[in-house]
Amino acid sequence: MIALSGLSAFPITPADRHGTVDEAALRRLVARLAAARVDSIGLLGSTGTYAYLTREQRRRALEIALDEAAGAVPIVVGIGALRTDDALRLAEDAKAAGAAAGLLAPVSYTPLLDEEVFVHFETVATESGLPLCIYDNPGTTHFTFSPALIGRLSRVDGILGVKTGAKPKNEVAAQFRALGEAVQPGFSVGCSIDIAAPDALLAGAKAWYSVVGGTLPKATLAITRAAQAGDTAETARLHAGLEPLWECFRRHTSLRVVYALADLLGLCRAEPPRPILPLTGSARDDVAAALKALPADLAQ
């Protein structure tokens, strides 16, 4: 069973405006991550725009990624859906294809209660047999996991870890300490906010679920390894080197920035699914300038 630790790099899912996956482009992105030897690939996360793709499109993207990774890197795939039975079918697809784990968010239209979320996760984990990582992303799901609920879910067989955001810098250490105390031994607590992830790793988080890691795997892997080694100074130095990109994230959002970044790096020409529009004009120029400003060893 997969150990959710280290750097999990999340690529975009290059596709046309109808959601048809650009197979050659996705292969290039996955091959780049596998060559960098990231610890896992986070396919069809929010950066992979899973919510905009059909079951068939998601299944095809997973097949392509698994074929390109060829077992060298485990793949954690998004299986979030509004209905429990739909999430279960996606989990079954992922298990049958050979994914290492599923990333499950409590996607909702009607706000969910804690017990509803617990039963949702318990059902998918138990009935599918696919190992799961909890995706705590209240900005999109409008549901916030409490440490107590994460602790309760950590006791469900097959739920291996959580991908969660981070509080302000001066609260990160206490946040991840509290989560670590709430969960079962061996349960992985990981951070999903790129700007805060190095501090979270130094504070005891086991994994960094990285947006920018999907396009700059070597840079983010170097930061991860420095933090895992407890090298605070080197972690801070490398993280500061990516500040031009972090500023773009703040100004233009991470999703839009990484689409522009993939194009500027020559990895693929893709646009986010409508109604999301690609960055143009001065916003795209900001990303180009940020890329140019990165130290040479981090621009890869």
| Binding residue ranges for pyruvate | 47
Contact 169, 199 (CB under 8 A): yes
Name every residue whose Cβ is closer than 8 Å to that of residue 246 and which is 6 or more positions away in sequence.
194, 195
Give SS3 for 160: strand
Instruction: Identify the bridge partners of residue 43 per DSSP, sorted by sequence position.
Output: 77
List the catalytic residue out of 50, 95, 109, 135. 135
List the catalytic residue out of 50, 95, 163, 206. 163
Q: Is 209 a catalytic residue?
A: no
The alpha carbon of 57 is separated from its chain's Cα centroid by a whole number of angstroms, namely 19
Name every residue whose Cβ is closer than 8 Å to that of residue 206 and which is 6 or more positions away in sequence.
4, 5, 6, 161, 188, 189, 190
The alpha carbon of 253 is separated from its chain's Cα centroid by a whole number of angstroms, namely 15
Name every residue whose Cβ is closer than 8 Å to that of residue 200 and which is 6 or more positions away in sequence.
166, 172, 175, 176, 190, 191, 193, 208
Tokens 């209660």 belong to which residue? 113
The whole-angstrom separation of Cα 139 and Cα 228 is 28
The whole-angstrom separation of Cα 94 and Cα 96 is 6
- Amino acid letter, residue 143: F
The whole-angstrom separation of Cα 166 and Cα 241 is 20
Instruction: Identify the bridge partners of residue 207 per DSSP, sorted by sequence position.
Output: 6, 190
| Angle in degrees, CA 167, 47, 141, rounded to 5 | 55
Q: Is 163 a catalytic residue?
A: yes
Strands 188-191 and 132-135: unpaired
Q: What are phi and psi of 288, to 5 degrees?
A: -60, -40
Q: Which residues are catalytic?
A: 135, 163
